[in-house]
Structure 1
Amino acid sequence: MAMTLDVNGKPLAVKAAPDTPLLWVLRDELRLTGTKYGCGIAQCGACTVLVDGQPVRSCATPIEGLAGLKITTIESLGGAHPLQQAWVKNDVPQCGYCQSGQIMSAAALLAAKPHPTDADIDAAMDGNICRCGAYQRIRAAIKEAAGMAPATVATPAAPAKV
């Protein structure tokens, strides 16, 4: 069955079955591989994209209800988005696998709340799992992208030279 999806501002015809998860249409049919497969049960956030500006887990979202809605993937940010720049500056990526989902959730947060509180960040990023544990750097990068002073992260003092 053919249908048209609005992906990153472009109408794209897809031929997948209506119950096909969006993730597989993006990766396999449209060759947009920035969105990652993580758990397959909408629990880890690696596959997060935006649908009409809201974060959704593409691994568990069938395409049948997406006609006429705006789907935004990490590819639409083009590498120069303030979040991506802040991610690099704050050394957020380690393995990098979760980053596209993290950035898309953060982008939705900043669109809704340009100057989020720590509680706002926690709520928006809940469910986006980072196996490397870069959560403090993620928070700092979100605040930097929002033009806010990042929270101070305590670092161990260097040993005294004798």
Structure 2
Amino acid sequence: MDPPDSASRVFCSRILSMVNADDVSAIILAQKNMLDRFEKTNEMLLNFNNLSSARLQQMNERFLHHTRTLVEMKRDLDSIFRRIRRVLYHLSHQGSPSRTALLQVRRKNQQLKKGNRCLSVNFSLMSAGVWGMDRQALLAPVQTSSPQDGKTGWDKSPEEWLLR
């Protein structure tokens, strides 16, 4: 005869009889599918991280190059404005007939230290003072690079831009 089943054997057999083998195989299959998806996603994220780090390195180099260029341009512009102020100072103390025009240009140049939109006008007026040219011939309307209020920019003369 068979030995009597112990309570633990009966409990285990009943638990095992409750588990459906088809459900277990479906769960294992779903877990394998999820594992494959996670591995693919992980690989895609690793590729993305590698590409983005390479792009970051390239952009960092470009940023440093542009920063150096801007610093050099600022240094050059500071030197140019310093030379302009020096020339205007010497010209204003020579007692030339266009001394008042040069003093006006110098004052406006000091007011526009932050921007250089009137740089060409200042050079033109300065050369007019140096060579004794007719100042009104140089004050013809010019095209501006940043029209305001929908205007084309032809409606203002350099003198008006200086007096703003």
Per the TM superposition, whether the score is higher than 0.5 is no
More strand by share: 1
- Of structures 1 and 2, the one scoring higher in RCO (CA 8 A, sep 6+) is 1
Shorter-chain-normalised TM-score: which range?
A: under 0.3
| Structure-1-length-normalised TM-score | 0.24
TM (normalized to structure 2)? 0.23
> Is the helix fraction higher in 1 or 2?
2
